[in-house]
Amino acid sequence: MAHPFRCRRENDTVAIVILEKSRCALCGEVLEADDDIVLFPPGLFSPSEPVFVLNDAGVHQRCLDSFRFGAEASRRREEHVRRVDPL
């Protein structure tokens, strides 16, 4: 069985998902151990943006792919990761 905690350290920010308990920020379904999950750090998006719900959250990759603003959110997440952890 997969470890019930999954986290990704991105410099001093950490998004945490508790598998089998945490819910996808987009669809509301529980994030399962075998799901393809994308984690977003806190503070990446401002409250005025439609992607604000993704701050410090985990989402199913499939939900992000179908989210109207998913491509933009992914692009900004990748920029953030490159900026704080350029390797």
pLDDT in tens, the chain (87 residues): 444 444 444 444 668 899 999 999 999 999 999 999 999 999 999 999 999 999 999 999 999 999 999 999 999 999 988 887 666
Determine the pLDDT at residue 14. Answer: 62
Both tokens assigned to 74 = 């992914």
Both tokens assigned to 45 = 């998006």
Residue 70 per-residue DSSP state: H
Return the closest-CA partner of residue 40 out of 54, 60, 26. 54
Q: Is 78 strand, coil or helix? A: helix
Q: Could you tell me the residue ranges of all domains in the chain?
A: 5-84
State CA 42 to chain mean position distance: 9
Return the closest-CA partner of residue 74 out of 35, 45, 31. 45
Determine the pLDDT at residue 67. Answer: 97
